[in-house]
Amino acid sequence: MFGRKKKQQEATAKGAVPEKKQSQLAVVKDAYKLVKKDSPFAIIWCLLVFALILVFGVIIGNNLGHPIYAGFLSLPLAFLAGFFLFTRFANTAAFASIEGQVGAGASVLMSIRRGFITTPAVNVNRDQDMVHRVSSKAGIILVGEGGFGVKSLMQDERRKMERFLSGVPVSEVVVGDNQGQVSIRKLQKHLKKFIK
């Protein structure tokens, strides 16, 4: 706690501008803009789910003789369900906004919180095909994205890994929409299967 404050004071003394962390409200506002741009009716669906659960709770409470009490109990549940649906729309919109861009796989890999350590673009060619290295309990996972040259890049990286880390399993995943590839939307879920 005190070490962080000292580092901030040293950084401001040197003339560096301290990093500002984005507030949760700003994150939700950015997500709202992204969702509204991707699917305009998403917010209506979220509000509809919220209203349905709230009304359903009040109806059950009315049948039990406690409509206000049941309304208070169903209010957080309705908010939670609406917000859960909103996060699903936000995830879909986020993947849609980065799909097809160079390095999209790296940004998805870097967003995985626990169990994986990602080193982006460990091998790149002039066509911007690239291989990312992911370390996990299951060993090394090489994630390639790009065109036809990505296969040779992955073979080169596999040889390096097998030479330096003999005995550690090395798996390969290619990001894409063709057969035998994993789409950017399913990449996180696919990688998590390795540690189960």
Exposure letters 184-196 (e unless 16+ CB within 10 A, then b): bbebbeebeebee
Mean pLDDT of the chain: 84
Average pLDDT over residues 21-40: 82
Q: What is the pTM of this model?
A: 0.67
Do 32 and 38 touch, CB atoms closer than 8 A? no
The residue with tokens 């040197």 is 14
Read off the pLDDT of residues 126-162 as tens digits, 9 standing for 90 and up.
Answer: 888 899 999 988 899 999 998 888 889 999 999 998 8
The CA-CA-CA angle for residues 30, 27, 34, to 5°, reads 25
Exposure letters 105-114 (e unless 16+ CB within 10 A, then b): bbebbeebee
User: Does the pLDDT of residue 14 top 60, yes or no?
Assistant: no
Residue 1: predicted pLDDT: 47
Residue 40: predicted pLDDT: 85
Read off the pLDDT of residues 97-111 as tens digits, 9 standing for 90 and up.
Answer: 787 777 888 888 888
The distance of Cα 147 from the centroid of its chain, to the nearest Å, equals 24
User: Does the pLDDT of residue 125 top 80, yes or no?
Assistant: yes
